[in-house]
Amino acid sequence: MKLTKRILCVLLSVLMLLSTGILSAVAEGAQGNIPTVYVYGFMGSDLLEDKNDPNSKVIWPPDMNAMTEDIKEALPTLVAALLVDNWETFGTVVIDLVKPYFEPTYLADDGTCPNNSGVYFTLPSQSEVRSGRRLTFCYDWRLNPMETADDLKDYIEYVCAQGGVDQVNVICHSLGGIIFLSYVSKYGYDRVKGVCLNTTAIYGESYTGDLMRGDIVFDADSIDYYMRYVLEGTEYDALLTELISAMNQAGLLKLLAKKANGLTRSQKERVVREVLLPMFGNWLTIWAMIPDQDVDAAQEMVFETLCADQDRSVLREKIDDYNNNVRKDKVQTLQTINDNANLYVISRYGYSSIPVTSSFKTLSDGTIDTKYTSFGATTSDYDKTLTKAELEGVSAEYISPDKRVNASTCLFSDQTWFIRNIKHSLQAESLWTMMGELLAYNGQATVNTFEQYPRFLVYDAATDTLSPDVAKTETQTVTGKAVSILERLKLIFEQLKKLLSKIPALANLFNK
């Protein structure tokens, strides 16, 4: 009997040792498969009328089909008012038209949601966490980033528990960088193995600061430049771009800008008070995206001028909370992350900024300034190159082939990649691949680690490829294909012929 007990004890001991070894091996294997958490940016998900019901009505983005029908119905009134500079009528029609589409997204004056609208969100299963696929952290991009940081903390803890790991990799896009920085400011970096800050708004964006300061202005060049951005890659890109540039040279865009500025002068305060402030003014994420130098002026404009008769003290306290605990220390926080995790910065450029403020010439990805997404690069204006003074004494390795970017002044100059001709909102598969390879690297990679990923890259939308950037010749197009003037004219005439052949069909479509 005693012998039998001894044998059983030995067997149990062996089984316990084996189990411990198996569990350790499983845990070790899981640690090798680090989950990647993706934090999307501003308006990165649909807002639903009921955040608990995935089948409820989408309140953002607005129903463009319905809005188009409303515009078509109001078009005769709008055109008539525009022709005679009747801005009061024009403003009333526009406000009455757009307000019903915006109102469902409004927040209360303290920055909280007054209804049950929001983003539908479910946690990933354990198998999804361990699959190696990107895990998207979903959040309501209107709300306080300091509170969203709490949700991100819970999400990362959940992923670590389900994955059997101690750390995750993080990819942030746009506003997602602000959410991530708020998380690290509150909870530290222990759970972060690596992070890729992909064209983020951590340093702000000029046009948001301009708008919140009341700097609204239209310019002929701003319309010309931005239409190039909008039309790039479309079927009639070359034709329409040339036509718009010709309109600019003929002075027609100047007349259009003059009309727009007349409307702005007449109706700006009314539109801001009745439409924009009830929405954007209460979205705390908007306040987080204002550049440092514009914060005081923006608060004075909104709280002391436009809303002086309203109590928004709670909203201001929340804005100050972010400013004092995240914004003020952002450089130190980024450096601390870099000291304790693998950090990568992706910055994009090649476009002008949004054409409604005086900052429209800022070199950007079409939305956020390149100088901000790169954490300090020296850049030229969109329609210029760096001056001789700006280039003097700077090593050629830091200067972009088109001489618009000086990377030597970045916070992390050797960990920052610049990609030309990739728009802000585009999440190209080739870029996902690049970020995945950076985060999978054993240690801290730099711009010299991968031959295929040097400091300066160019994106080709037609083939969805990233390649090392090279100096452009004068006859190169945006896509990098060298063409002669005759070939370009031929392309324009071919597109014009194609467009004209479709005009009857387009007319019939509009009349339906």
List the beta bridge partners of residue 70.
none
Of 42-46, 319-323, 372-376, 502-506, the one with minimum mean pLDDT is: 502-506
Task: Kindly give the residue spans of alpha helices, DSSP state H, lying in 217-329.
Answer: 220-231, 237-249, 252-271, 277-279, 284-288, 295-299, 313-322
Of 53-62, 64-73, 497-506, the one with minimum mean pLDDT is: 497-506
Residue 442 has pLDDT above 90, yes or no: yes
Mean of pLDDT over the chain? 87
Q: 100 CB contacts (<8 Å, ≥6 apart)?
A: none
Q: In 3-state terms, what secondary structure has residue 345?
A: strand
Question: Structural domain boundaries of the chain?
Answer: 1-32, 36-468, 482-512
Single-letter residue type at 151: D
List the beta bridge partners of residue 396.
none
Instruction: Report d(CA 84, CA 65) in Å as an integer.
Output: 29
CA 398 from chain centre, in angstroms, equals 25
Q: Is the dihedral of CA 418, 421, 423, 429 positive or negative?
A: negative
- Long-range contacts formed by 435-441: CB under 8 A, 24+ apart: 435/171, 435/196, 435/198, 435/344, 435/346, 436/36, 438/194, 438/196, 438/342, 438/344, 439/34, 439/36, 439/169, 439/171, 439/193, 439/194, 439/196, 439/342, 439/344, 441/342
pLDDT of residue 434: 98
pLDDT of residue 82: 85
**For a pLDDT cut of 70, what percent of the chain falls above it?**
86
Single-letter residue type at 493: F
Single-letter residue type at 444: Q
Q: Are 450 and 437 in contact (CB under 8 A)?
A: yes
Residue of higher predicted confidence among 173 and 505:
173
Q: How far is CA 380 from CA 207, 362, 387, 414, 454, in A?
A: 17, 8, 8, 20, 21
Residue 206 has pLDDT above 90, yes or no: yes
Q: In 3-state terms, what secondary structure has residue 274?
A: helix
pTM of the model: 0.87
- How confident is the model over 105-115, as pLDDT tens digits? 999 999 999 99
Of 54-63, 203-212, 265-274, 477-486, the one with minimum mean pLDDT is: 477-486
pLDDT of residue 17: 32
Q: 496 CB contacts (<8 Å, ≥6 apart)?
A: 239
Residue of higher predicted confidence among 82 and 417:
417
The structure tokens listed for 49 are 């009328």
Of 348, 360, 87, nearest to 225 by C-alpha is: 360
pLDDT of residue 472: 66
Q: In 3-state terms, what secondary structure has residue 248?
A: helix
pLDDT of residue 19: 36
Would you give the DSSP letter of residue 57?
P
Of 40, 353, 62, nearest to 211 by C-alpha is: 353
